[in-house]
Amino acid sequence: MTNFDETTFEKIICTALRVPRPDASLRMGHTPSWDSVAHLDIVFQLEKSFGVAFDLDAIADYDTVEKLRTTLKGLLGL
Amino acid sequence: MDSRGFSALFFGDLESGGWVRSLNKATTVSSSKWTLRDAGYASWLREILDPSSSARTSEDRVWIFVLSPRVFDDDGFESQLESFLMKISEAVGTRTVFFSTLFADPHGVLPLSQGPARSLRAEQANSRLQAFSSQHAWFHLLDVAAYVRRFGFEQLYDARFESMARYMFHPGALDGLATWILRHLSALDQSPVKVIAVDFDNTLWGGILGEDGPEGIRVAPSGAGLHFRKFQSQLKALKNQGFLLVALSKNNSSEAEAVFSSHPEMLLRWDDFAAHGVNWSPKFENLSRIAEELSLGRDAFLFIDDSAHERGEMHDRLPEVKIFDFPADPSGLCRALSDCSALDLLRVTREDRLRAKSYEDNRERQKIQAQASSLDDYYRSLQTRVEIQKASPENEARLHQLMLKTNQFNLHSERPDPSAFRQKLSDSKREIWGFRISDRVGDAGLTGMIEIGFEKATSWTVQNFLLSCRVLGRSVEYAVLHWLADRATQAGIDEIRFCFVGNSRNQPALDFLQKAGLVVAGHEAVLKISGPDWKHSMPSHYATVVETGA
C-alpha cells in the first residue's frame, strides 16, 4: 500500500489517454481515446503504482477521472 | 519498403485490443514506424478460412498470430491448426507471418497426473509449427512459450483481466510482450552484425591476465568463473550460427594465446577467432585493420568490452561500430547477450553456418596464392565451380538475406523487405538467380545473386548483381558475366544494361563494371553483345559454370 500521489495519478491518466491534462470532462466511452482497452490499462497502472487491487467487476462504475481518484483513495483508506 | 509500409495486422483467439494497444505503445516508445491493427475478437481462424474476409483483402505487410492456452480447451484444435496451415499458404500473398508458439495453462486441474499430457499437446503443436516454418521462409515463429517460461506465467497472468476482458496476459505483461514482438518486426528489415569483436580480461575470463597470471584468472564451471564460461559457451554457439569472432585485447599475444591452449576450463580456442588484434595498440585501430582484412564494413562489428573507457573510445573513433551494453555485474553477461538486438536473426541459413569456415578457407587460399607462379595459375589451381540456380522456395530466404547483407559487390543498396522481395520473385518479367560457389578448398554456399529484368525485346536489364565479399577475387563475377551474355545472345538480345547506383561502400561493383569495359553513365552501364567481339574485351575467368535446379 502506497500513499496517494496526485502527480503520479495524473501522469498515468494523461499517458494512457494521450491528453495534456486530466480534465474533469473526460469520460470513458465519450472521450475518443478512453475506450475499454485504455480503461483496463489505466486500472492496471494505478494498481501497480499504488499497490492496490480494483474490483474489476465494478469497472464501469469509475468511468471519470474524479471517480477513479475517489475509488483509488478509498482503496488506500483515505 | 513496399507501398504497404509498416502496417501489421494482429490476430488472436481471445480479445486482441490489449495486444494492439501495447504494440502501438511499444512502437511509439522505440520510434518504430510500425502501426498495428486489430483483426477482431477470436479472429485467427475465421479471418483466414474466409476468402472474402477483411483481413485477407487487407494491405497489411505483416500478419501476427498469438494464441492463448485456451485453444486447447477445444478438442478439435489440432485439426483447426491443420486447416489454418493449409489455408494460410494461399492467403498470405507476399506478406510475412509471425505465429506464436503455444504453451499449456499451468493452472489446469490435476497437475500431477494431467499436466504432462497437456504440456505434450502444446509441444506437439509447436513441433508442427516448427516444421511448417522450416518449409516456408515467410512463416516465422514468435516463441511466446519461451517468453512465458523466462518471466513466469504467474507474473504475466491475472485471472481478473481474463474474466473481465478475455485477456490472457494482464496489461503490464502485454507491454513487455509487445516490446519483445516488436524486436521481431524490426529484424525483418535490419541487417544484423556479422562480427563480434571481443575483449579478454574481465570479459572472456574474470581478472586481468597481466596482473593475475594464467592461474589467477577466473573461468570455471562453478563459482565466480561460471558466468565467463557460460559467456564463452554463448559466443561459441554464435560462431556456429555464422557470426565471426574477432579478438581485441590489450595483452601480450603469446601469453594470451597460451591461456586458450592450456587453461583447462576455456571453451573458446585461439583458432575460433577469425582474426586477432591482441597487442597494445588502440582497439579502434585493430578493429579498422581487421575490418579491411576481412573485407567487411566496420558497421558489421559488435564490440564487447567490460571497460567503459574502451567502449567510449571505440564509439568516439568509430561511431559506426555497435557497442554491446556490458552489464554492471558479470552475472548479467548471458542475459545481456541474449537481449542484444544487434544479433537478431529471424532465420539462420546454411550459408550463415558456413561463414566462419569460409574465412578459414580464404586463409588457405592465400597460402595457395603465395605459392602460385602467377595469378592465372592460382585461379586455375582453385578449380572454382559456379552452380547457377533459379530462385525457388528452397533458396528464397538466403537470396533475400544476401540482398540485405551484401554491401561491397552490390550494384546498388536496395534492401527490399521480405514482401517486396517475394513480389520480385513472382514478377513474370524478371528472373532472380543465385550462385553456389565452391572450389577445391571449400564450399562457400549460396553467395551470389543476379536479378534480370526482361521488359524490353532487344535488351535485358541487370537490376542487381551481388556477390558476398567472401568469394571476391576468384574471377567468379566474370564467369557469371560470360554465362549471362551467352544466354542473352541465345535469346537474340543485343545489349545488357546494368543498373548502378554508387555509394560509399560499393566501389568493388564499380571496379567490376569498369574492368569489363563498361562505362557508367548516370545510373546505367551498357554491354553491347550484338557483335562477335564482345568476348575479347571481357576479362577471362577460370570457373566452371553449371546451371542447375535449386
A41 Cβ under 8 Å from any chain B Cβ: yes
Range with the lowest mean pLDDT among B40-49, B259-268, B350-359?
A: B350-359
Q: What is the pLDDT of residues B477-518, one digit of tens each?
A: 999 999 999 899 889 898 999 999 998 889 999 999 998 888
Whether B5 has a pLDDT exceeding 90, the answer reads no
Cβ <8 Å between B171 and A45: yes
- Contact assessment for residue B385 and residue B439, using Cβ atoms and an 8 Å cutoff: yes
pLDDT at position B532 = 66
Kindly provide the ipTM of the predicted complex, given to two decimals.
0.89
- Mean pLDDT over A71-75 rounds to 94
- Residue labelled with grid coordinates 579478438: B247
Higher-scoring residue by pLDDT: B228, B361? B228
Q: What is the pLDDT of residues B281-322, one digit of tens each?
A: 999 999 999 999 888 889 999 999 999 999 999 999 999 999
Cβ <8 Å between A44 and B17: no
Cβ <8 Å between A37 and B17: yes
DSSP-assigned letters across all residues of B12-62: ESS--HHHHHHHHHHHHHTT---EEEE--TT-TTHHHH-TT-TTTT---SE
Whether B60 has a pLDDT exceeding 60, the answer reads yes
Distances (CA, A) of A78 to A3, A49, A69, A70, B127: 9, 16, 11, 9, 54
Locate B274 and state its grid cell: 577469425
CA B218 and chain centroid, separation:
33
pLDDT at position B416 = 85
- Residue labelled with grid coordinates 573510445: B313
Domains of chain B: 7-189 (3.40.50.1110), 195-343 (3.40.50.1000), 365-548 (3.40.630.30)
pLDDT at position B3 = 44
| B272 DSSP 8-state letter | G
In A1-78 the beta strands, taken as DSSP E runs, fall at none
Is the CA virtual torsion B500, B505, B509, B515 positive or negative?
Answer: positive
B18 Cβ under 8 Å from any chain A Cβ: yes
Task: Given CATH 1.10.1200, say whether it is the number of domain A6-75.
Answer: yes
Chain B residues near residue A45 by CB distance under 8 angstroms: 171-172
Q: Which of B16, B170, B175 to mutate to test the interface with A (most CBs of A within 10 A)?
A: B170
- Mean pLDDT over B165-171 rounds to 95
Whether B550 has a pLDDT exceeding 60, the answer reads no
- Contact assessment for residue B194 and residue B346, using Cβ atoms and an 8 Å cutoff: no
Q: Which of B164, B166, B167, B174 to mutate to test the interface with A (most CBs of A within 10 A)?
A: B164
- Contact assessment for residue B146 and residue B105, using Cβ atoms and an 8 Å cutoff: no
A56 Cβ under 8 Å from any chain B Cβ: yes
Chain B residues near residue A35 by CB distance under 8 angstroms: 17
Domain boundaries, chain A: 6-75
Q: How far apart are CA B226 and CA B249, in angstroms?
A: 21
**Facing residue for B172 by CB, picked from A44, A53, A56:** A44
**Cβ neighbours of A32 (radius 10 Å):** 9
Longest dimension (CA), chain A: 32
Q: How far apart are CA B311 and CA B290, in angstroms?
A: 17
- Contact assessment for residue B260 and residue B215, using Cβ atoms and an 8 Å cutoff: no
Q: How confident is the model at residue B98 (pLDDT cuts 50, 70, 90)?
A: very high
pLDDT at position B538 = 77
| B523 DSSP 8-state letter | T
Q: How confident is the model at residue A1 (pLDDT cuts 50, 70, 90)?
A: low
Q: How far apart are CA B56 and CA B58, in angstroms?
A: 6
- Mean pLDDT over B351-361 rounds to 83
Percent with pLDDT over 90 in chain B:
71
Q: How confident is the model at residue B1 (pLDDT cuts 50, 70, 90)?
A: very low
Cβ <8 Å between A41 and B170: no
Q: What is the pLDDT of residues B202-229, one digit of tens each?
A: 999 999 999 999 999 999 999 989 999 9
Range with the lowest mean pLDDT among A67-71, B87-91, B411-415, B477-481?
A: B411-415
Higher-scoring residue by pLDDT: B350, B174? B174
Q: What is the pLDDT of residues B368-394, one digit of tens each?
A: 999 999 888 998 899 999 999 999 988
Whether B173 has a pLDDT exceeding 70, the answer reads yes
3-state helix, strand, coil in chain B (%, to 5): 45, 20, 35
Q: What is the pLDDT of residues B7-40, one digit of tens each?
A: 999 999 999 999 999 999 999 998 889 999 999 9
**Facing residue for A41 by CB, picked from B160, B163, B171:** B171
Cβ <8 Å between A40 and B18: yes
Q: How confident is the model at residue B2 (pLDDT cuts 50, 70, 90)?
A: very low
Instruction: Tell me if residue B461 falls in helix, strand or coil.
Output: strand
Give me chain B's average pLDDT, please.
Answer: 92
- Mean pLDDT over B515-536 rounds to 83
